[in-house]
Chains A and B, each alone.
Chain A
Amino acid sequence: MKEETLLSINGVSVAFKINGEFYTAIDDVSLELHRDEVLAIVGESGSGKSTLATTVIGLHNMNATKITGEINFQNKEILELSEDEFNDIRGDEMGMIFQDPLAALNPLIRIGDQIKESLDVHSDMTEDQKQARVHELLNQVGIPHPERVAKQFPHQLSGGMRQRIIIAIAIANKPQLIIADEPTTALDVTIQAQILDLLKDIQRENHAGIILITHDLGVVAEVADTVAVMYAGEIVEQAPVATLFNDAKHPYTRSLLRAMPTIDSEDDELYVVEGAVPSIKDMDRNSDLFAPRIPWTKPDVGHPVLKEIAPNHYVRGESWREFKFKDEL
């Protein structure tokens, strides 16, 4: 299969200025995304997955953020683009789907006009063509009665419908890259499945690449092709989805998988990864950052590096070779 690289992130680090000092939120992340591929980024809250997504689409306040590295999107170095050049790409070649559909819609603007916004910016369609495109999009995302819904306000719709609207806005100009930041977190389970199917359909139609940010491994198993597991701003393991679920190596990945509820488990209690992601101010970048949460295992010395242990399977550090869960000791 000939895969065309759509987006390549090379050694990207992001640091935020807090009280005058820079703290690293993302440390040396490299990823690649191809057409027709779904790349899932998973991790706990605070692991830097959303920060990575907002870096790609340029939502950071540059006065308080320092970004190094390279992000290449369709042969454009997007970290070097000016605000205007970036605005030409955003909404046209890239779209973003937000987590909370109510917050991401302007409460005072009609649905149709909100979808039209990115058409206004990027296309030279006539008003009638835009209108037709809005109805077509609403149809595509499975909204009944597009003509009527287009005239409604966000608060008049249900959560699932709002998320469909958000998707319609993101795909209005048929973007090559869709960034979905926890698109199903605010929805109930039945709607989740519909939204994921919808994303897949859209991808097939546009041959787009999707970056899916989530902490729900069930969602990952369902739609992802490649998975990158992030912890404390670093990628700790990266593998094709089947490998990751069947042959996870890194202690963090294994802990996450173990913490996932399964229907045929005999235990009453879920596995809990003790502790929490360290706060951005307390991360010691010269140590094995996950080690404090598995104190019974010998930590890596110094800062562990990401190594390819099998084709396309990357794991950080060496400690995984000896790692056992507490009850397996």
Chain B
Amino acid sequence: MSEKNETQVQQSVQGKVPEIKDGAVIVETPSTWRTIKREFLKDKVALVSAIILAVVFVTVIIWAFFIPRSAVTNVNIIDQYLTPGTQGHLLGTDEQGRDQVKMLIASARNSLMIAFMISIIGQFFGVIVGLITGYFRGIVDTIIMRVIDFWIVLPFLMIIIVLVSIVPKYNEWTLIWIIGLFAWQGTTRLIRSKVLSEADRDYVRASKTSGSSNFMIMFREILPNLASLIIVDTTLNFAGNIGIETTLSFLGFGLPNGTPSLGTMVSAATDPTVLATKPYVWVPPVIFIIVICVGISFVGQVFRRAADARQRLG
């Protein structure tokens, strides 16, 4: 009776009965991946989102390889605004007579790659600066955080537009770095607040008594403990960065001519005739953007719940 009770208690606490191996009790706690898997199974919307995202990403990346550059640069006014289904154009053609399906795939590849690169740059600087300010505190922290506070209140979209207009020899890498300049401050704040609390933990002090240098403590001890936070933040920032890039391209300050983007495709709708009478030109990229961004945020929510036990569903 009592033995049974005990087992039940342990089961409810650990989710699994501790097994006894060679006299030592081994308590199995669910690993991060297992937690993520369980959260996905509990949240069907996120599961569907994840599957759709996976299919879309793989399709876009592979298909984009087989689309020749001429398909997105050649202009053929005779085939302008063909309706979907005519002459083998599944989604019709745009103002320049280019196939909409090929345009969509090539644009999606560009937009996703750029958003991805911006996320990497933003996370890289955000995490490093956050670690430094949170770990060393004091005057370094005060100075860097005040600079970041100032940076955050700047109207970043306007500054990006100005920079894009004045930079000579402008290409997609220039755009990535310019947007990247404004992509790390939020991450820095987030990482800093977590590092502030981690740096006071005993394992950091213990590491110090082993003679580890500050650099080792920051990257070997504290960084792994930030992993879940970084994964969540990267995912959600990725969706945000797709939004920023498409916004800029829509406004005409994004990717240069000849590099199609989801934003430039949507900007076809700025022509009132197209907006009113030819929805097949601008609806597909709009749906594509919505599906990708909503899907990523659903998946990001799952990661967030897996990282924070209080929010878990399963």
Contacts and interface: CB of A to CB of B under 8 A. Distances in A.
Interface of A: 57, 59, 63, 83-84, 87-92, 94-96, 98, 100, 103-109, 117-118, 121-122, 144-145, 148-149, 152, 155-158, 161, 166, 169-170, 172
A75 to B, nearest CB: 19
B209 A57 contact: yes
B138 interface: yes
A145 B206 contact: no
Interface stretch (B24-32, B73-81, B300-308): B24-32
- B-side interface size class: 20 to 34
Given A103-B202, A144-B24, A95 B213 contact: no
Pairs of residues from A and B, 4 with the lowest C-beta to C-beta distance, nearest first:
A91-B211, A91-B210, A118-B210, A103-B202
A91 B209 contact: yes
A59 B208 contact: yes
Interface of B: 22-29, 137-138, 201-203, 205-214, 216, 220-221, 224-225, 227
Contacts of A170: 209
A100 B201 CA distance: 11
A90 B210 contact: yes
A84 B208 CA distance: 11
Nearest to B223: A108
Contact of A88 (B27, B137, B138, B211): B211
A95 B206 CA distance: 9
Contact of A105 (B22, B28, B206, B212): B206
B113 to A, nearest CB: 31
Contacts of A96: 206, 209
17 contacts: A59-B208, A84-B213, A87-B212, A88-B211, A90-B209, A90-B211, A91-B210, A98-B205, A103-B201, A104-B203, A105-B203, A106-B221, A106-B224, A109-B221, A121-B216, A144-B24, A172-B210
Contacts of A158: 24-25
Given A103-B202, A104-B202, A106-B203, A95 B209 contact: yes
A161 B28 CA distance: 16
A107 to B, nearest CB: 7
A155 B29 contact: yes
Most buried by A among B138, B203, B206, B224: B206
Given A107-B225, A117-B220, A148-B22, 19 more contacts: A63-B138, A83-B214, A84-B213, A90-B210, A91-B212, A96-B209, A98-B202, A103-B201, A106-B225, A108-B224, A108-B227, A109-B220, A152-B26, A155-B29, A156-B27, A156-B28, A169-B206, A169-B210, A172-B210
A103 B203 CA distance: 6
